[in-house]
A and B are shown apart, each in its own frame.
Chain A
Amino acid sequence: MEHALLYVSLSILALIWILPFVTVLLSALRSQGDLFSRGVFALPEEIDWSNFTEAWKTGGFEIYFRNSLFLILVKVPLGILLASLAAYPLAKLQFRFSMAVFVFFLLGLAVPVQVTLQPLLVMMKQLGIANSLWALIPPYVAFGLPFQIFVMRGFFRLIPSELIECARIDGASELVIFRRIMLPLSVPALATLFIIDSQATWNEFIIALVLVSSKASRTVPVGLLQFQGEFASQYTQLMAGIVISIAPVIAIFIFLQRFFVSGLTQSAVKG
């Protein structure tokens, strides 16, 4: 009986929770005229896909998607590699200042992006990559390191040291140990980080807003906001643009949910 009550309340709450999605999706599938005449909660009489095609081509999402994907494909593996390399000594090698270095990285979690923006802008100009996607990669990697190092270090520590000692006795160098033992045994953690980092990269807004101004280099969030300006009163197209922007992340989330969850719980484990 108690359970039934719980179930019902949760279900009602869940329905309220999905309401925004449903509203947006419904609005995206209709024509503007239909929206005006029948209000926001009517089901589409006929499904109007033109909102999506308009948003994709004219709206520029074709470009924005390409850019965000490019960033993910380059930045995510790079960042995780750097983090894993750094996590290995922090987890398994005894050296001075090990804890200090670890804390040094962890403090990065506290840094708000705003405090780096102006100097980054100047730096990118001096490096000659200003206003391009390349300008986003170094700060993205840097800001991702604290969390990734934390997770990888935690995971590496769980790998039995005997394995490593044996390898050393057999004459393996640390690099070989890293490649042949640490990485393969950490695939769950790596997969988790890969997915979480991809999602974070897709969603990042303020650095992309400040460092990149040309349309050809816009990422999805910045492009979406710009799209809203261009199509200001074409609500249904705006809704389509929103759906396009979130579809990949939602799809990945629904099918790979456990990675997100495990990533969170990893970060919760004391290190």
Chain B
Amino acid sequence: MKLRFFTKFDAATVKIWTPIVEAYEKQNPNIKVTMETVAGSGAAIYPDVLRTSMAAGDPPDVFFMWGGEVAGPFIDAGQVMELGALYDKHGWKARMTPWTVDAITRNGKVWGVPYNARGMGFFYRKDIFAKYKLAEPKSYAEFEQICATLKTNKIYCASFGGKFGWHPMRLLDYLTETACGPEVHNQLNRLQASWDIPCAVDAYGRLKKWVDNGWLVPDFLSVTPADARMPVYLGDAAMIIEGDWFEFVVRGDKQPTTNLDFFVPPTGHQPLRYSAFPQQWMVPAKAKNPDASAQFIDFITAPATQKQFPAAFTASATIGIEPDCKEWPITCKWRQIITTSRDIYPPTDQAFTKELMDGFFEVQSGIIAGRITPADGGKMMQARAEAWKASKK
């Protein structure tokens, strides 16, 4: 029997998952698992390929998914299997860190099994910071100061790859949280507040400032997020916004990780929130063999399996699975933060559906390129939000 396992894993991640799949096949000799991936573009292209396969009536048996509004359209279109019964059958609730299940609950029901809980912050080159006697900023003003200092020393403060929009979005998200505070940021994400209110325009203004001051590696709008790592590796840029997975990625790129550290950027608000999101496994509503799908998910979320293959589960939602702090010090540090602080906000691309998100990216890119003023950007974004709301009626 064939089981199609669909993910967004890149080549390095596929490598560490292959033994896991093989272990499953060994335990279940009559099942052949094929791993398929759509990689490199994050949530930009993967959901489309997934959706096409669903439209064709040939969905994968188990698939990876982010949370929020990336998963939302699939759930709302009835394409995903509701897993309440399976949770009871396999006792998954007891296995998962509670808030991870809450994070992927939608409309009171659970549609997936948590895989990871991820968090993002600014990764920086320790040696560059040391060289210019910089310390992790405690306030936004200090942060800007850091960038100014780096600039005078001809180093870019941060590197981004704008090709799909979601990488620079991380910066804009941070600036929005800083300018507007948690309450209003939430409202903006729910389209309950208008995007042309002063603090949102201020956020756009700060983005423009980062670009105009030369703090970002220039000409990055067509660069892929993966390519954005280059300047940091080469020492041309000091920072990049990435998440708890980054230590693994850097090792995969055969670059040293001893040189890296990260901080959760200061927002000046209470509570100090950071950008975080869940990842989950889902089963299509029209799965050919739901039990087989469930069995596989059970295997890959089981503590026993995850302990056997620690490299693949450094941010696991399964209780008791912690990364090896000696081997993955940075990941471990992230783990601390993620498990202790639940003050988080989602990346905007998990708050908006694709069509609205592309409108968001259009404004974001326009401001970065200097073609739209922050004030106009706010108006444009709000217009897009209104149009989208109207089209959903």
- What residues of chain A have their CB less than 8 Å away from a CB belonging to chain B? 36, 58-59, 121-122, 124-125, 130-131, 210-211, 213-216, 226, 228-234
Contact = CB atoms under 8 A, between A and B. Distances in A.
A36 B53 CA distance: 39
Given A216-B34, A232-B227, A226 B39 contact: yes
Given A121-B56, A130-B57, A213-B56, A229 B39 contact: yes
Contact of A125 (B4, B57, B225): B57
Contact of A214 (B4, B39, B45): B4
Interface string B133-157: 0000000000000000000000000
Given A124-B56, A130-B56, A131-B58, A230 B49 contact: no
A93 B40 CA distance: 56
A75 B56 CA distance: 22
Contacts of B227: 232-233
Given A58-B11, A230-B40, A213 B229 contact: no
Contacts, number: 72
Interface string B43-60: 001000110110111101
Contacts of B53: 131, 213-214
Best-buried of B50, B53, B55 by chain A (most CB within 10 Å): B55
Given A58-B14, A59-B11, A214-B4, 8 more contacts: A131-B53, A131-B58, A228-B40, A229-B41, A229-B45, A230-B11, A232-B40, A232-B227
B85 interface: no
Interface residues of B, number: 29
Best-buried of A59, A213, A215 by chain B (most CB within 10 Å): A213
B36 A233 contact: no
A131 B36 contact: no
A214 B36 contact: yes
B305 interface: no
B230 A125 contact: no
Secondary structure call for the A interface: helix
A214 B3 CA distance: 12
A94 to B, nearest CB: 45
Nearest to A214: B36
Nearest to A54: B11
Nearest to B227: A233
A215 B36 contact: yes
Contact of B58 (A210, A214, A234): A214
Contacts of A232: 10, 39-40, 224-227
B187 to A, nearest CB: 35
Given A58-B11, A216-B34, A229 B56 contact: no
B353 interface: no
6 contacts: A125-B55, A130-B56, A214-B58, A228-B40, A229-B38, A231-B40
Nearest to B36: A215
Interface string B16-39: 000000000000000000101111
Contacts of A125: 55-58
A109 to B, nearest CB: 27
A36 B225 CA distance: 18
Contacts of A36: 234
Contacts of A234: 11
Contacts of B49: 213
B219 interface: no
A142 to B, nearest CB: 19
Contact of A231 (B4, B11, B50, B225): B11
Contacts of A216: 34, 36
Contacts of A122: 55
A211 B55 CA distance: 10
Best-buried of B41, B58, B230 by chain A (most CB within 10 Å): B58
